[in-house]
Amino acid sequence: MYLLGRCLRIRSEETNPDDPKHQWSVESLIPEMLREVGVQSSSDLLTASVDELPEVDGPQNQPELSTKQMQRLSNQAKELITSTEFSNLLLSQATEVLAQSINMALHVQAIEVVSSASLEMVECCAQLNPQTATLYLALHQSAEASRSMKELVMSSVSDPSTSQFAALLHQETWLMQNSVTTGLDSSSMRKNILKILSENFTSWKRLQLTPNHLDLMKDIPPAFNIVVLQHSPDKQTLYCGVM
């Protein structure tokens, strides 16, 4: 489901006549005519005086359009509206599919799926819904932290024969490999392993994500503001959100 949601989101960006970067960069919405007079950011636009802004030709100064030109512009406008509506439909479907995949992944503790799907949800929401985007960014951050800590624990118990915890941890990791094709992530064997790990080992409990992770806002006092910062997997983008 995660891959389906990702495909829907990418397809939504392809069909959207608007540039995807407009979801993130407010400065990209500034018209070119304002950039020519030195307005490069939203702060420049607020501080610029009226005399510095370029004059816009009124209707009386604009050339009249022929019927053929008007018809062509009308057809182009209809195409843009249709493309935008189709893009929004795909985006809503992507959001629904990704949300379901996250819930299912949290239920079986598929941390990698939670991490990837939550980041896709951040891309879907962007500045259109910053509060929801921040919640999923926090979930992505928690999933990445859990994944990194599990790798650290795995490296410290590299030999499965040293302890029961090491043996169960390696067995659970093996079951999750290629779980999409094998279906072993929901097998009775893995459920028994998870039960033993949760009941007997505190370190394993610390690696788990709570299914109600998205309800963090309910536990945060109103007077608190929490800033969430997280790098993208390729380290090229720094995401920021405020709760």
DSSP states of 19-70 as a string? -GGGGT-SGGGS-HHHHTTT--SHHHHHH--GGGSPPPP-GGGSPPPPHHHH
Are 184 and 218 contained in the same domain? no
Q: What is the pLDDT of residues 91-111, one digit of tens each?
A: 889 999 999 999 988 888 888
pTM over 0.85: no
Are 187 and 137 contained in the same domain? no
What's the CA angle centered on 87, arms 19 and 18, to 5 degrees? Answer: 15
Q: What is the pLDDT of residues 1-27, one digit of tens each?
A: 888 999 998 888 888 777 655 555 555
Q: DSSP H helical segments within 48-129, as ranges?
A: 67-108, 111-125
The answer to whether 147 touches 111, Cβ cutoff 8 Å, is: yes
Are 97 and 84 contained in the same domain? yes
Are 98 and 120 contained in the same domain? yes
Are 100 and 123 contained in the same domain? yes
Decide if 152 is inside a domain: no
Decide if 44 is inside a domain: no
pLDDT by 10s per residue, the chain, length 243: 888 999 998 888 888 777 655 555 555 555 554 555 455 544 554 454 444 545 545 555 556 767 777 778 778 788 878 888 888 898 889 999 999 999 988 888 888 889 999 999 998 887 678 888 889 999 999 999 998 998 888 888 888 888 888 898 888 888 887 666 677 777 788 888 888 888 888 888 888 888 888 887 677 787 888 888 999 888 888 888 887
DSSP 163: -
Among 175, 168, 113, residue whose Cα is nearest residue 146:
113
Task: Give the DSSP H or E segment for 173.
Answer: helix 164-176
Among 208, 207, 195, 201, residue whose Cα is nearest residue 166:
201
